[in-house]
């Protein structure tokens, strides 16, 4: 059973960028779709985008297009989410999650532990 471990908490200045990593253990990402989801303080879950390794395709929520890039280093079994032009509104816990159940239509059954990103001057 694949597990995913994310990079640690980070503090960034407004206007800068952050890159969060997500490493698979006990398996690889090669066959599994990967999504990035965030939760800002007091808010709900917000899907940011995802990558389909089999086709090398990425898909981003409209809100984040132009500001987020999701990539995958298959040789390292590590996915990355880079968010640019940070504002205080980007302070949130960021999760990576993957869909490992073939018949589940992309439902996210394996989640990382979350990474707190704080955007503050």
Partner 1 sequence: ETVLTQSPVTLSLSPGERATLSCRASQNVDSRYLAWYQHKLGQAPRLLIYGASSRASGIPDRFSGSGSGTDFTLTITRLEPEDFAVYYCQHLGPFGQGTKVEI
Residue ranges in contact with partner 1 by CB under 8 A: 35, 37, 39, 44-47, 49-50, 59, 61-62, 95, 97, 101, 103-109, 111-114
| Paired tokens of 76 | 């390292």
Beta carbon nearer to partner 1, 20 or 112: 112
CB of 13 to partner 1, least distance (A): 27
CA atoms within 13 A on the CB side of 82: 7
Cβ 52 vs Cβ 27: under 8 Å: no
- Partners of 110 in the β-ladder: 98
Beta carbon nearer to partner 1, 84 or 93: 93
Beta carbon nearer to partner 1, 77 or 100: 100
Beta carbon nearer to partner 1, 102 or 121: 102
CB of 75 to partner 1, least distance (A): 26
CB of 7 to partner 1, least distance (A): 15
Cβ 9 vs Cβ 117: under 8 Å: yes
CB of 79 to partner 1, least distance (A): 15
Which of 80, 65, 71 has its CA nearest to residue 112? 80
Cβ 117 vs Cβ 18: under 8 Å: yes
């Amino acid at each position: 059973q694949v597990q995913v471990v994310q990079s640690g908490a980070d503090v960034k200045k407004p206007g800068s960028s952050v890159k969060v990593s997500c490493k698979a253990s006990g398996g690889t990402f090669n066959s599994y779709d990967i999504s990035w989801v965030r939760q800002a303080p007091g808010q709900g879950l917000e899907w940011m985008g995802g990558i389909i390794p089999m086709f090398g395709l990425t898909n981003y929520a409209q809100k984040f297009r132009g500001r987020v890039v999701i990539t995958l280093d298959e040789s390292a079994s590590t996915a990355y989410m880079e968010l640019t032009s940070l504002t205080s509104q980007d302070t949130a816990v960021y999760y990576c999650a993957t869909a490992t159940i073939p018949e589940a239509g992309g439902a996210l059954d394996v989640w990382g532990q979350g990474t707190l990103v704080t955007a503050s001057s």
